[in-house]
Amino acid sequence: MPSHVAIPISTPTRRRVLIDRVEAVLCHRSKDGEEQYLVRWKNNGDAEYPPLSWHSVSDLARCLEYVQDYIESRSISQSLLKRKSPDNETEYERRPSPFERQQSVTYQSTSVASVLPSPAPLPDIYNGVFDSQHTLIFARSSSGPSIARLSIQNVPTPEMLQAARTAITEKAAAAIRQEYTRRLKRLPGVPITLLNLHDASTPSLRFRYITEYILRDGVYKADPETQEGCQQCSTNMGRSIGCEYTKKCECLEYAAVDTSRLDDEQLELYKAVQASGGSTMGFPKKFPYFAEGTKIQRAGCLVRFYLDSRNPIYECNDSCMCGPYCRNKNVQFGRTVELEIFRTTQRGWGLRCKEDLHEGQFIDTYRGEIITDEEADRREAAATSKAKGSYLYSLDKFQESEGLADEDIYVVDGEFMGGPTKFMNHSCEPNCRQYTVSYNKHDCRVYDIALFACEFIPKGTELTFDYLDKEDDVEVPSSPSEGAILCLCGTEKCRRWLWT
């Protein structure tokens, strides 16, 4: 086995390390004017002496997630250190950040062997072997002759921590931002941009953008065979807008009845049907969106009947006879407005639109993994803060009407994968609202959560919705439970807590 690190350096790009080989980034330093990060490699054997080596930011271009984890855990640790009184615990007794706990590295105050410099241009490698893949990084080495062997219990060493205190993370922060922006640019559809005028942070690179739900274990979508389309409608029933007559369109079978169009006799009949649980087909309904030919800026916007209610929206689907341009199809085509993720002053990241939004205009769906209720409980229990609750949305719209048990309700978790609406903050006086959109009226467990502007929103205004948007006015307790998040929406009607 060679006694030094062998990294192919024929071209600089070939030094990049593979993400699946990295366990964690543990420390950073500035060496010869270069920002370097200490990587702990996945090893198949020695848990106490895993391979460790220092790398430049460009080496780590394919695993910047780990560098970001490190930088973030460092800033959390630093803020914890700032809050403790000077003569209390030592730095090594500090409360570990969630990231540090995840790594299960025990920090000890014992002194360790000093770190000897490695001959340039090779990086220091402490404990032997890390693996390779042909042209990528290749280091099969025991510790070099002049490099101390380090137990993971002692890494980062006091000397490393001391050096990290003054070393900058500027280059890594810039690379992380660049990588995030590059990924945003590669997303299909209307652009999403990122702007941070406050600090060097970037949203987590670990978040995966998806356009469709990911169904996890135990989650089933109704068989596409059960998806019925409207058969009596056609592409041109007079105005070339697809479906036109609400009494004919079978997609509206379960849609809310427009009682304003019922005379007394019809109203009685409707009440009787409701009481017996019979079909409301044939009663007048409303299509959810303004059709082309109405006020131009309103085409596709949600009509007030839906905007002001919690009634589910039933869109036409691929089995319908009304064609692709039906007025009753909108959310299923996805986002059409340009969005910007931006750093707010107090509430982390937020979302805004780069163009004016009309009242009732569709913004985007809330996407994520669909998990079972049991899995949602498990994820909530494992979470370190109540913030987890802000990513979990129960698909319980039809629970009561369909008599579904609590454990049969699915939940959308948008924390790790989803769309830009993940960044929408809560407001007690919001300018957007979430609506239920179904394409298969026979599937009461899987449907879309769609966000619409509930008023005119000038471009650049932060988009918010009420995380506790309940059907009925639910009384929100004034005293919070432990860990409740203080609401910083700053509106007059603020309820003080995101939830209690």
Ligand X SMILES: C[S@@+](CC[C@H](N)C(=O)[O-])C[C@H]1O[C@@H](n2cnc3c(N)ncnc32)[C@H](O)[C@@H]1O
- Pick the binder of ligand X from 37, 349, 435, 452 (CB under 6 A): 349
Min dist CB 37 to ligand X, Å, is 24
Q: Has 366 been annotated as catalytic?
A: yes
Pairing label, strands 369-372, 214-215: parallel
Please report whether residue 348 would count as binding ligand X according to CB under 6 A: yes
Question: How far apart (Å, rounded) are the C-alpha atoms in residues 68 and 201?
Answer: 9
- Pick the binder of ligand X from 36, 53, 202, 425 (CB under 6 A): 425
Please report whether residue 172 would count as binding ligand X according to CB under 6 A: no
Q: Which is nearer to ligand X, 2 or 348 (CB)?
A: 348
- Pick the binder of ligand X from 21, 286, 397, 422 (CB under 6 A): 422
> Could you tell me the sign of the dihedral formed by the alpha carbons of 291, 296, 299, 301, in that order?
negative
| 287 token code pair | 């299509």
Min dist CB 110 to ligand X, Å, is 38
What SS3 state is found at 403? coil
Site for ligand X in 378-397 (CB under 6 A): 387, 390-391
Min dist CB 185 to ligand X, Å, is 20
Please report whether residue 485 would count as binding ligand X according to CB under 6 A: yes
- Pick the binder of ligand X from 362, 423, 435, 447 (CB under 6 A): 423
Site for ligand X in 104-163 (CB under 6 A): none
Q: Which is nearer to ligand X, 411 or 498 (CB)?
A: 498
| 423 token code pair | 């960044």
Q: Which is nearer to ligand X, 53 or 425 (CB)?
A: 425
What SS3 state is found at 260? helix
Q: Return the bridge partners of 497, or none.
A: 486
Q: Which is nearer to ligand X, 168 or 387 (CB)?
A: 387
- Specify the stretch interacting with ligand X by CB under 6 A; choose among 13-21, 29-37, 142-150, 347-355: 347-355
Please report whether residue 192 would count as binding ligand X according to CB under 6 A: no
Please report whether residue 357 would count as binding ligand X according to CB under 6 A: no
Min dist CB 416 to ligand X, Å, is 12
- Specify the stretch interacting with ligand X by CB under 6 A; choose among 80-88, 209-217, 329-337, 420-428: 420-428
Question: How far apart (Å, rounded) are the C-alpha atoms in residues 362 and 450?
Answer: 7
Min dist CB 70 to ligand X, Å, is 19
The count of residues interacting with ligand X (CB under 6 A) is: 16
Q: Which is nearer to ligand X, 154 or 464 (CB)?
A: 464
Please report whether residue 358 would count as binding ligand X according to CB under 6 A: no
> What residue is closest to ligand X based on CB?
348
| 147 token code pair | 């490099």
Min dist CB 123 to ligand X, Å, is 34
Alpha-carbon distance values, 137 to 6, 9, 53, 407 (Å): 8, 9, 12, 48
Catalytically annotated residue among 66, 126, 447, 467: 467
Please report whether residue 426 would count as binding ligand X according to CB under 6 A: yes
- Specify the stretch interacting with ligand X by CB under 6 A; choose among 7-15, 175-183, 257-265, 341-349: 341-349
Residue 428 φ/ψ, nearest 5 degrees: -75, -15
For 13-48, give one letter per residue: b (16+ CB within 10 A) or e: eebbbeeebbbbbbbbbebeeebbbbbbbebeeeee
Question: How far apart (Å, rounded) are the C-alpha atoms in residues 471 and 397?
Answer: 10
DSSP 161: H
Residue 435 φ/ψ, nearest 5 degrees: -130, 155
DSSP 486: B
Question: How far is C-alpha 331 from the chain's CA centre?
Answer: 19
Min dist CB 414 to ligand X, Å, is 7
Min dist CB 425 to ligand X, Å, is 3
Catalytically annotated residue among 314, 366, 393, 439: 366
Q: Which is nearer to ligand X, 347 or 433 (CB)?
A: 347
Q: Has 435 been annotated as catalytic?
A: no
Question: How far apart (Å, rounded) are the C-alpha atoms in residues 206 and 272?
Answer: 53
Q: Indicate the angle between helix axes 64-83 and 170-185, nearest 10 degrees.
A: 130
**Residues in CB range of 215: below 8 A, 6 or more apart:** 221, 369, 370
Residue 192 φ/ψ, nearest 5 degrees: -125, 130
DSSP 130: B
Pairing label, strands 208-209, 417-418: parallel
Round the CA-based radius of gyration of the chain to a whole number and report it. Answer: 28
Q: Return the bridge partners of 193, or none.
A: 340
Min dist CB 24 to ligand X, Å, is 23
Q: Which is nearer to ligand X, 301 or 449 (CB)?
A: 449
- Pick the binder of ligand X from 488, 495, 496, 499 (CB under 6 A): 488
Q: Which helix (H) or strand (E) holds 179?
A: helix 170-185
Pairing label, strands 417-418, 313-314: unpaired
- Specify the stretch interacting with ligand X by CB under 6 A; choose among 28-36, 363-371, 425-433, 448-456: 425-433
Q: Which is nearer to ligand X, 41 or 423 (CB)?
A: 423
- Specify the stretch interacting with ligand X by CB under 6 A; choose among 90-98, 168-176, 305-313, 486-494: 486-494
Site for ligand X, rule CB under 6 A: 347-349, 387, 390-391, 422-423, 425-427, 485, 487-489, 498
Catalytic residues: 366, 467
